[in-house]
Amino acid sequence: MWIFEFLHVLIGILWIGLLYFFNLVQVQSMPKMTEEGAAKPYTQIILPRALFFFRHAALWTVISGIAYYVAGRGTIEG
């Protein structure tokens, strides 16, 4: 069913985008933010929300992928 494929791709893009954010932006910025004292608001406000979306995007990518597979009666086209 096309809706499961659409959700799987869309949520997968969100998941991978957040992964790149954490690895390429946050990891390099945290030492500078810690030196300047700006890390506390970031770790208390932005980071928990980003991690919430990261966890749930991963979960819903897997769930929508399984639903897409089952809706196709277990066949893989390609």
Residue extents of the structural domains in the chain: 2-71
Residue 45's pLDDT band (cuts 50, 70, 90): confident
- This model's pTM is above 0.75: yes
Distances (CA, A) of 10 to 16, 67, 72: 10, 14, 19
Contacts of 77 (CB under 8 A, 6+ apart): none
Q: Which phi and psi angles does 41 have, rounded to 5°? A: -60, -35
Mean pLDDT, the chain, rounded, equals: 88
Q: 63 versus 74: which is more confidently predicted?
A: 63
**What pLDDT score was predicted for residue 20?**
94
pLDDT of residue 29: 84
Asked if pLDDT for residue 71 goes beyond 70, the answer is: yes
Mean pLDDT of 60-74: 89
- Decide if 68 contacts 8 (C-beta within 8 A): yes
In this predicted structure, what is the pLDDT of residue 28? 87
